[in-house]
Amino acid sequence: MASVFASRCIGIFCFSIAIVMGLFGSTGSVKETSGAFSRLPSPICKIVRDEWGETAKEQKGEGMLCLFALLGMVPLWLSRRKGFSPREVLRVCTESWRRLCNDPSGTDVFQALTDSLVNELGLSSAVLVQWDETGEAKILGLAPCCEGQGNLLSLPFSGESMVAALPAEGQILEGEALKGWLRRLLPIQQRLPLDSLEGSGWLAPLTFNHRPLGAMLLVRRHPFLPQEIPLMEQLCQQVAMMLVMAQRRLKHPSDDSFPDRLQRRFLQLLREVEQAESVEAKTWSVLQAALEGLGVTRVCLWRLNRRSERLYCTLVVGRAGLENFGKGWLVRSFEGCAHYLATLERERCLVVPDVRNDERVAELRSVLGERVIAFAAAPVRIGGNIVAILECEVEHLRHWTAEERMFLTELADLLTRLWLEDQRQHRERYLETLSNIALQLLAVTEWQGAVPAILADLGSVLKVDIGFIAQGLKEGEETTLTPLYCFSAGGEHPSEKLERFLRSCLNAQVFSALEQGQEVTLTVSALTDEQKAYWQGLSWQSMLLLPLWVESRFWGVLGFIQTRYERFWSDMDITVLRVASALLGSAIERQLALERQLEQERQFRDLFENAVIGVYRSTPEGHFLMANRTLAHINGYDTVDELMALHIPDQIYADPEDRRRFQRLMEEQGFVADFRYPIKRKDGSIGWVAKWARAVRDATGQVRYYEGFVLDITEQVLLAQRLQGLQEIAHNLVARLDLESILTIAVQGLSHLYPERAVVIWQHLPEQQGYLTAKANEAGQEWLQGVGQKVGSVLPRHPFHPLEQRLRQGETVTIDAAADPILSERGNWGRFRAAFLKGLGTVDQFWGILIVLQEQKPFADHDLTFLNSFCDYLSIAIRNATLFQQLQQAYQELQAMQERVMEQERLRALGQMASGIAHDINNALVPIQGFAELLLEHDDPTVQNAAQVIFKAARDITTVVQRMREFYRPRTKEEPLEPLDLNALCQDALAMTRPRWHNIPQERGVVIEPRLELREDLPPVVGIPNEVRQAIVNLILNAADAMPQGGTLTLRTYKAEREGRLWAVVEVSDTGIGMDEETRRRAIEPFFTTKGEGGSGLGLSVVYGTMQRHEGLLEIESEPGKGTTVRLWFPSKKAAMEMATVGKVPPMRLLVIDDEPFVREMVASLLQRDGHWVSTAPDGEQGIAIFEKALKGGEPFDVVITDLGMPQKDGFAVARAIKALSPFTPILLLSGWGFRLQGEEMRSLIDEVLAKPATHQQLRRALYNLWRRRHASEGNSD
C-alpha cells in the first residue's frame, strides 16, 4: 500500500508540473512532443490517451509538458488496480479444496466458496448453480445470503431452460441482461434484493468432459478488467472439478480410486505451492507433482519466445540425463514444430498413446528419441496465448484417462495462475522501481548523477548480472556504441570487454533495428558456433538492448546482460524497460533543452549586460524602457536606475536640435546609422556618441519605441584633435638620434598640446641608483622649485619607491599628488592635484620616467591613451638614440637586410594583388591590341602611327600588369630577351608622357622644357622592351612631378665603362625640388611616397625591379633645391637567343576555344587573315565535342588553341581530353594569368604557351614553331 500511495503521489506531482507548464508554456516543440509520445510502449500510450484524451498530441503544451505528463502516467498506470490477483484466486481455490477433503459431502463447501469470492475478491455477489442429467437444478452457493434465505439452497427447480440459454463460454453481462439471468438463477425473486445487485456480471458454464454440470455468476459494481477474465475461467475449471469430486464422493464414499489420488496429490501440491517462496520453486513443485501423480518417465517445461520464434527447455524433472534425450532437445524452432503448435492451439490437453503412429507429433519423433513411446502435453496460456508447454514422456505404451488429462490440464492452469501472480508481484516491484527512477530523475539537475542508482535498481528488480548505458556515435556511415555507465551485480568491472564487444561484435542489422525503435535480444543458443565461443569467453548467456531516443533521434542503448543462465525476457520486462528507457531519454532531452535554454539566456544576458556598447530601448516621448550598464557609464552615471529616470531630450542631448533631427530621420526612413551628436554627462562634461537605431511600429504604423545601440566616441573626437600634433611630434622624435634634441622636442611638444600642465623627465642613473632631472617645461620647472629641485639636479637613490617597480614593468601610474605620501615630502605641490607617471624605455633596459601634472581631477581616458602613445614614441626615440653609436654598424647591416626583405615581401604582395585583375585586363586588351595590329597594315601613315602608339601602349599595359603581379618573382630563363634600342625607347617614352610634362603644366602656366641627348654609339644590350620603356616612363613622370614651377627635363644616353665592363646608360634629369638624404635612401621602397594621397609609392620600386631583372644598376643623385638625376646602367650583352624570322606556314585547320566572345573572334580573325581554316567553341565541352567529331569525320584539326580559365572545363581538362583522343595534336594555351609550364604532366599536355593579349606576330611565331617541330618529328619518324 505504501508503494502504491507513493506512486500515486509521484503521479499527482508530475501532473501538477505538467498543468503549470501548460499554463505558462515550455521549451519543447509539438513535433518533439509527438515523437516522445509515440516512442512509449503501447500500453502507456493507451493510458495516456485514456487519461489525457485523443488530442494529447495537439494540446497547447510543448515537449516538457509531455515529459512530465508521461512521468505522471507511469506510476499511476502501474499502480491503478481495481480487480483481484492470481494469488487471491489461488488462495480461494486452495481453501475450498481443503474444505472439500474434510467434508466429502460438500454440503457447506460451495456456500463457503461463494462467501470467499465475495469477501476476498471484492465481489458484490456470487451465485453457484448445479444441475443433473434430468435438468433439475439447485443453488449450491449464494453470497451475500440474506436472513431467512438459507432454505433456498435445498430447493430444487427446473434448469432445462437455463442449460439451453447458457453461453458456451464465459461472457460479460450488464444492465437488464444481468438482472434477467439473476431471475433465472434465483426463481424466488421476491425475497432477493435484485435492485442492489447492479454493476457488471460474468456468467460462465461449469463443464467436465463437455458435460454440463452447472453455472456460476459473479457480480461486481465496477467492470471486470481484461486481465481478470483468464483468472475467472481458471476459477470455473477448479469449481467444475470440485463438483465432479463432490459427486464422486457422494456416490462412492469409500472408494480410493486413482482419480481421488490425483485430487489429493493436487491438494498436496497446492499446499506446497503456498509454502514455496520463489516462482521457480513453485514451478518445480508442479513438475514434480506431474511426475509423481501421473507416473511418467520425465516431465519437461518448454518456454516459447515469439521474438526469436524458438522453444527452450527450461526445466526437466525425472530422468534428465542428456543421453535420454533426442537430438536437439534443448531448443526447437517454431517452423520445425508448426503442426504440433497448431494442435495445441486447438486443444487444452494433447495425449498420444503411441508417438510412432500419431501424425500430430510426427515433427517431434526425432526430438523425443527412440525410448519415448507415449506422450502428453498441456499448453500454459496467459491472455489467450501459449507461453509454455508442459510435456510428459513415457517409455511404454500408455492409454491416458480423462482424469489424467484433467490433472495435467489443472497443472498447466496452476502454472498460469502462479506466473500471473508472479507477474503481479513483479509489476509492483516494477512500479516501485519506476517510481524511484522518476523521483531520481526529477531530483537531479544532471541525469548522469542518477544513472548509477537507476541501473542498480533495474538490475536488482530484473535480477540481471550486468546493466549499462551506451551512447551511439556516428563514425562516417557506421554507428558505434561507447559505454558510459555500467552496473555489475557481482562487483566486477566489465567496462573494457563490454566496450570491445559493442564496438566490434554488433552488426548493421542490430543497429538498424535499434534505430527503428525495436528492442534487440541476443542469446547464446541462437548464435553461430564461432559467436558462441566468443560469448563463452565473456561468460555471457543473454543480452537485451533497448534504444534510447533523444529529440526524436537514436541516442544510445539501455542494455542488460545475464551471465548465469540464458534469460527469456517477458513482455512485462520489456514494457517496463521501455518505460524506463523513455524516462531516461526524456530526462536527457530535458537536460539538453535546459542546457541550451540556459546557454541562450546566459549568452543574451552577457551580451546585453557586458556589451562594450550601450544598448537601449526608449519611447518616442523620450523615456527609457530598458538600458544596460554600459550606456549608463557612457552618460556618466553609476547605475542603470539613475539613467532610467532621465528625460532624454532635456537631460541627455546637449543640443535639442540633434534630438529633433534624430526623430525626423526615424519618421522618414525608420532608422539611423552612425548618428553622431554631443551629450551632457552627469558631471556636466560634454561627451560624444554615435548611435545606430531603428523605429519599431505597431500594426497601425505608429512608432511604439526606438531601439538600438550607442558607441562612446568621446575619446575618438578628442584624440582626433591631438592626432596631427602627435604624428608631428612622433615623426620628429623618431627622426632625431641625439638625446638632447629628442628630450627638447618631447617637452616642447607636450607643452604645446597641454599648455597648463607641468612636464618633467627624469633619467635613471644605474650607477648612482638615482635619477637625473633631465628636462622640464616652464610649469615643470616651477613645480621642481617648489619641491627643492631643478633641471640638472640628481634625486637620491630610489626616490620613487614603491612605484618604481611598477614603472619598470611598463605600468601606467596615475596618482593624487596632493595625497601621495612619497612625493608630498618634496614640498609644496602648488596648484597641481593629479599626476601621470610612465616609465621610459623597455622592461629590460629601463631609461627613466616621464611625469605630467595637472590641476584638474584624475586624467581622462583619452588623455591616458594619448600620453601612453606619446611615451611609446618617446621610448623608441630614446632607445634609438641611446643605442645608435654602439649599434650603428650592426644597424646598417640589419637595415640593409630588412630593406631587402621588405622589398621582396611588398613586391610579392603587390604581385599577388595584381594577379587577380591581370586576367580580366589581359582579356580586355585582346581586341585593342588585335585591332591595332590590323590598323598597322592600313595605307594611311597617320592611321599607322596612331595604331603603332595604341599597340605599344597596350603592350606596355600588359607588361605593367604582369610586372606588378610578378614583382616578387625574378626573371626566368624562359622569358625571351630582345635587342634593345634605348634611343627609340626614350623617344617613345617621351611621346607617351607628353600630356603629363607638356599639356597639364601649360594649363597652370608652367613650362617644362624637354631635351634629348641621345648617342648613336651605344653598345648592344638585350632585354624586354616593354619593361624598359615603362621604367623610363616612370622616371619621366617623377621628374615632371618634381618640377611644379617648371624646369628642364633631360633624357640622355651614352656608353661608359665600369668594373672593366662596357655599359649603356640612360639618364633622366630634372631641375626640380630634389630630395634629402633620407628620402633618397628610401626612394626605392615599395609604397614609399612624398606625394601624399596622390602617390602610390610604386614608381621607383618598379624601376628598381626592372633593373634587377635586367642585371643592371640604378643610381639616384639628388640634393634639395638642385634637382634629381636617375641613371639606368645596362650591361653590354648580345641576345641570348636568335630572333629568327617567322617562316611561311601552310594553311592549317585550327580550333579556337575561349569563353570570352571578343577574344575568341579576334584570335580567329587574325588567324583567318593568314589563310587558316578556323573553327571556334565557347567552352571546353563544346570544343572537345567539335574536335572529336572532326577526328571521326577524317578531318582532324592541326592545332588546338585553348584558353586556360573557362567554366566547366578549363584549359588543362581540354588538353587532357584532346591528348587522349589524339596524342600528337599540338595544344597552344592562351592565358591571362601569366601561366608557365611546371611539372612533367603539364609539359606533356601543353606544347606552347602565349600570354594574353598575344600579338599577331606571336601567334604566327607559335604556329610556326609547332608546325616546324611536328614537321621535324615526322621527318625523323620517316
Would you place residue 1263 in the very low, low, confident or very high pLDDT band (cuts 50, 70, 90)? confident
Would you list the DSSP string of 490-539? TS---HHHHHHHHHHS--HHHHHHHHTT--EEEEGGGS-HHHHHHHHHHT
CB 558 within 8 A of CB 544: no
Summarize pLDDT for 513-552 with one digit per residue, the tens. Answer: 888 888 888 877 667 777 777 777 788 888 889 999 888 8
Q: Which helix (H) or strand (E) holds 1248?
A: strand 1248-1251
* pLDDT over 60 (residue 223): yes
Summarize pLDDT for 365-396 with one digit per residue, the tens. Answer: 887 888 899 999 999 998 788 989 999 999 88
* Rounded average pLDDT over 931-958: 77
Burial 30-47 (b: 16+ CB within 10 A, else e): eebbbbbbebbbebbbeb
Would you place residue 77 in the very low, low, confident or very high pLDDT band (cuts 50, 70, 90)? very low
Domains in the chain, CATH or no CATH each:
1-83 (no CATH), 86-254 (3.30.450.40), 276-427 (3.30.450.40), 611-712 (3.30.450.20), 723-903 (3.30.450.40), 972-1139 (3.30.565.10), 1149-1277 (3.40.50.2300)
Q: How far apart are CA 808 and CA 800, in angstroms?
A: 11
Summarize pLDDT for 558-590 with one digit per residue, the tens. Answer: 999 888 777 767 777 888 888 888 888 888 888
Describe the strand order of the beta sheet including 478-488 as a list of residue ranges.
Answer: 478-488, 466-475, 553-562, 542-550, 520-523
Identify the weakest region by mean pLDDT among 706-720, 753-767, 803-817.
803-817
CA–CA distance from 1185 to each of 1109, 1180, 1198 (Å)? 43, 9, 16
**Partners of 1176 in beta bridges:** 1152
Q: Tell me what pLDDT residue 1038 has.
A: 87
pLDDT, greater one: 206 or 44: 206
In single-letter form, the type of residue at position 1148 comes to M
Q: For the chain, give the percent of residues with pLDDT over 70.
A: 79
Q: How far apart are CA 1203 and CA 1195, in angstroms?
A: 23
Q: For the chain, give the percent of residues with pLDDT over 90.
A: 15
Q: Tell me what pLDDT residue 891 has.
A: 57
Q: Tell me what pLDDT residue 1138 has.
A: 43
In single-letter form, the type of residue at position 478 comes to E
Q: Tell me what pLDDT residue 919 has.
A: 62
Q: Which three cell numbers stand for residue 362?
A: 510426427
CA–CA distance from 641 to each of 222, 624, 693 (Å)? 66, 10, 22
Q: Tell me what pLDDT residue 893 has.
A: 58
DSSP 8-state class, residue 653: B
Answer whether the bond into residue 802 is a cis peptide, omega within 30°: yes
63: buried, middle or exposed (CB in 10 Å: 19+, 13-18, 0-12)?
A: buried
Q: How far apart are CA 678 and CA 657, in angstroms?
A: 11
C-alpha distance across the termini of the chain, in Å:
110
Would you place residue 26 in the very low, low, confident or very high pLDDT band (cuts 50, 70, 90)? very low
Would you place residue 1053 in the very low, low, confident or very high pLDDT band (cuts 50, 70, 90)? very high
**What sign does the dihedral 429-432-434-436 (CA atoms) show?**
negative
For the beta carbon of residue 601, count every other beta carbon within 10 angstroms: 10
CB 77 within 8 A of CB 10: no
Q: How far apart are CA 71 and CA 56, in angstroms?
A: 15
**What sign does the dihedral 468-471-474-475 (CA atoms) show?**
negative
CB 1205 within 8 A of CB 1211: yes
Identify the weakest region by mean pLDDT among 252-256, 651-655, 1101-1105, 1218-1222.
252-256
Summarize pLDDT for 234-260 with one digit per residue, the tens. Answer: 788 778 878 877 776 666 555 445 456
Residues 6+ apart with CB under 8 A from 1257: 933, 1142
Residues 6+ apart with CB under 8 A from 1073: 1042, 1043, 1044, 1120, 1121, 1123
In single-letter form, the type of residue at position 311 comes to L
Identify the weakest region by mean pLDDT among 76-90, 1156-1170, 1222-1236.
76-90
Q: Tell me what pLDDT residue 952 has.
A: 77
